[in-house]
């Protein structure tokens, strides 16, 4: 109880009837009926209806109430009464407060948007006035849920013996492989810090320090082109453990994920999370983060196409490619050529897929532009393999594996959404394991670490690695997927310095480069490194999925736009020449050239 309030605005119930209370908050909505004014007063905890009536309050109080603008901040004293027309939608709906005293604590200017109601607000306006946007109940809920999530993480980690250790923000480039944000050093002219892409190096060094169980809720920075669910600055739950194997980490983390899930959604996930190898996920779903809430799995047509009369498919197989199909259920009537072309165009946006063929199974028989290239037996074999029924549409892509998986994986998801095959009330956790160690970067024409270069190789694939079989080497790694979003991932690390050097070598890093980039790190492994591993969760994305929000920006208190701007503070922004001079920097930016 303070001068300003005896109760918050979500608190009063029928049991409070007759009490005199003091309330403070924002004017959410106001209705004037002559000598009677109703206001919904709002604070973080909810809304309470307050009533100004000339029978109870002095005329001057009622008059001042009539003049109140939405979002002004007021304090009132009044008596709790039973409400005539009860509102079952809010917890305080059984009562209302008849005001006797009103103090206007602050008036609100003309608002850039109505805080209450209008759901179709422009996101740019919301971001510019984020402090107002955060007053909206949906956003207040998201802030509360974020807090709840972080508290349940902290409690769990503490119970399980993890130490919360913080690591520097001004540091050196880390190995995640994205572009760094750089900070020039005034005291070391010409040198730069990098903002951490993750605390990866520090957490592994902490294992060498003997911390054994580490966690941190860490800010991470990656200067990448932003996609819908990415931000340049994001929050990660970072974890590392010593003297454990992959299964120990996964079990520990499963416990954490269940706890957090229960605390945030109120539902329980009382099942052992399924574990699926990366290769199987790609083959069945065309994705390393499959949404397994619906079927429409990829079917293999390689053997049928290898000998068929359709050149396009046959040559794809001859050139080392693959042929896969998915079945769009029950849409043969509904999917016109135009719609199918739209799907094909969509498929083509994935890694340059050249096309997507389709076969409709109708009551009248097969309908497809490519039907003429197949014998009856071949067509029967395609139908049998895909298990398509009359009324279905078979969609086929033939190309390099990466292209086929990318295209059909994306089309599968589009079908899932558009045909409403996904049960949005369902949550499905899934582990993906055994990721490849390397991935070929076509632009740079070299192999890169798929996760990072400190990921350990599976014992059974070590010989392949030593023989240089880059495409087939698998790692002791795991990602946790929830409803088709990767919410976390990590690995058991290499702790043998010789293997580490070999990995650098295979990644094309010369001894000098490796020393310059990671020398201090590799050195540390000479002084007794315990076996260790860990992972990191993207807090923002995980929360977004649990709250079923469409945008990652809705679960981040102060997010940036797709161009990496903060519309509220107007960062990034120009700085004085003097500041640049002190940093030995020259602003060479010239908008004419750019």
Binding site for ligand ASP (CB under 6 A): 176, 198, 200, 489-491, 534-536
- Residues 343 and 413: beta-carbon distance below 8 Å: no
- Residues 249 and 242: beta-carbon distance below 8 Å: no
- In the complex, the smallest distance separating the C-beta of residue 231 from ligand ASP, rounded to whole angstroms, is 14
Under the phi-then-psi rule, with left for phi > 0, alpha for psi from -120 to 50, and beta for the rest, what region is 210? left
d(CA 147, CA 381): 55
Q: How many CB atoms neighbour CB 154 within 10 A?
A: 15
Closer to ligand ASP by Cβ: residue 25 or 534 = 534
Closer to ligand ASP by Cβ: residue 46 or 489 = 489
- In the complex, the smallest distance separating the C-beta of residue 184 from ligand ASP, rounded to whole angstroms, is 25
- In the complex, the smallest distance separating the C-beta of residue 188 from ligand ASP, rounded to whole angstroms, is 27
Closer to ligand ASP by Cβ: residue 290 or 534 = 534
**DSSP secondary structure, 490-526, as one string:** EEEBP--HHHHHHHHHHTT--HHHHHHHHHHHHHHGG
Closer to ligand ASP by Cβ: residue 489 or 559 = 489
N-terminal to C-terminal alpha carbon distance within the chain? 59
Closer to ligand ASP by Cβ: residue 247 or 311 = 247
Closer to ligand ASP by Cβ: residue 103 or 229 = 229
- Look up residue 590 and give its two tokens: 């010239």
- In the complex, the smallest distance separating the C-beta of residue 9 from ligand ASP, rounded to whole angstroms, is 41
In angstroms, the Cα distances linking 339 to 182, 336, 386, 403 are 46, 5, 21, 21
Q: What is the dihedral of CA 451, 287, 340, 391, to 10 degrees?
A: 180
Closer to ligand ASP by Cβ: residue 361 or 492 = 492
Per-residue H/E/C for 427-456: CCEEEEECCECEEEECCCCEEEECCCCCEC
- In the complex, the smallest distance separating the C-beta of residue 200 from ligand ASP, rounded to whole angstroms, is 4
User: What is the distance, to the nearest Å, from the Cα of residue 182 to the centroid of all Cα atoms in its chain?
Assistant: 24
Closer to ligand ASP by Cβ: residue 357 or 492 = 492
d(CA 351, CA 370): 23
- In the complex, the smallest distance separating the C-beta of residue 447 from ligand ASP, rounded to whole angstroms, is 18
68: which DSSP letter?
P
- In the complex, the smallest distance separating the C-beta of residue 553 from ligand ASP, rounded to whole angstroms, is 20
Cα Dmax for the chain = 93
291: which DSSP letter?
-
- In the complex, the smallest distance separating the C-beta of residue 240 from ligand ASP, rounded to whole angstroms, is 7
């Amino acid at each position: 109880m303070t001068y300003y309030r005896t109760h918050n605005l979500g608190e009063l119930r029928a049991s409070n009837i007759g009490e005199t209370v003091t309330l403070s908050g924002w004017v959410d909505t106001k209705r004037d009926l002559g000598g009677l004014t109703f206001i919904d007063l709002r604070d973080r905890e909810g809304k309470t209806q307050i009533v100004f009536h000339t029978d109870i309050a002095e005329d001057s109080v009622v008059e001042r109430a009539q003049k109140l603008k939405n979002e002004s901040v007021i304090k009132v004293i009044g008596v709790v009464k039973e409400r005539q027309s009860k509102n079952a939608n809010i917890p305080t709906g059984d009562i209302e407060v008849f005001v006797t005293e009103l103090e206007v604590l602050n008036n609100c200017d003309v608002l850039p948007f109505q805080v209450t109601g209008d759901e179709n607000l422009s996101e740019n306006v919301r971001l510019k006035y984020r402090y107002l946007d955060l007053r909206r109940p949906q956003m207040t809920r998201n802030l509360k849920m974020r807090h709840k999530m972080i508290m349940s993480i902290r409690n769990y980690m503490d119970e399980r013996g993890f130490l919360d250790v913080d690591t520097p923000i001004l540091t050196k480039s880390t190995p995640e492989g994205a572009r760094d944000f750089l900070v020039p050093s005034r005291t070391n002219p010409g040198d730069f810090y990098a903002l951490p892409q993750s605390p990866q190096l520090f957490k592994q060094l902490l294992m060498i320090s003997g911390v054994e169980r580490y966690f941190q809720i860490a800010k991470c920075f990656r200067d990448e082109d932003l996609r819908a669910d990415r931000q340049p600055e994001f929050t990660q739950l970072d974890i590392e453990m010593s003297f454990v194997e992959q299964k120990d980490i996964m079990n520990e983390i499963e416990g954490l994920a269940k706890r957090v899930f229960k605390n945030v959604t109120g539902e329980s996930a009382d099942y052992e999370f399924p574990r699926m190898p990366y290769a199987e996920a790609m083959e069945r779903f065309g994705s390393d983060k499959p949404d397994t809430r619906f079927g429409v799995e990829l079917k293999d047509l390689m053997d049928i196409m290898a000998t068929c009369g359709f050149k396009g498919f046959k040559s794809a197989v001859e050139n080392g490619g693959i042929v896969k199909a998915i079945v769009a259920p029950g849409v043969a009537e509904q999917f016109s050529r135009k719609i199918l072309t739209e799907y094909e165009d969509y498929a083509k946006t994935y890694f340059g897929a050249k096309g997507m063929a389709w076969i409709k199974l109708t009551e009248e028989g097969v309908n497809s532009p490519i039907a003429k290239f197949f014998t009856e037996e071949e067509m029967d074999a395609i139908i049998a393999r895909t298990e398509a029924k009359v009324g279905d549409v078979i969609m086929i892509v033939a190309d390099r594996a990466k292209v086929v998986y990318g295209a059909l994986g994306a089309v599968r998801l589009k079908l899932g959404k558009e045909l409403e095959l996904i049960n949005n009330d369902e949550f499905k956790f899934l582990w993906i394991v055994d990721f490849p160690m390397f991935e070929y970067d076509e632009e740079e024409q070299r192999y890169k670490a798929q996760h990072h270069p400190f990921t350990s190789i599976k014992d059974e694939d070590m010989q392949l690695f030593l023989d240089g079989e880059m495409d087939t080497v698998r790692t002791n790694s795991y990602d946790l997927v929830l409803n088709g979003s990767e919410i976390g991932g990590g690995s058991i690390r290499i702790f043998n310095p010789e293997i580490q050097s070999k990995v650098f070598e295979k990644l094309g890093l010369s001894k000098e480069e490796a020393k310059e980039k990671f020398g201090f790190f590799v050195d540390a492994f000479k002084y007794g490194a315990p076996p260790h591993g860990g992972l990191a969760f993207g807090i923002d994305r995980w929360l977004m999925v649990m709250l079923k929000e469409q945008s990652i920006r809705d679960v981040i208190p102060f997010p940036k736009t797709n161009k990496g701007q903060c519309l509220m503070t107007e960062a990034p922004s120009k700085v004085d020449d003097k500041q640049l001079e002190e940093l030995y920097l020259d602003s060479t930016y010239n908008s004419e050239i750019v």
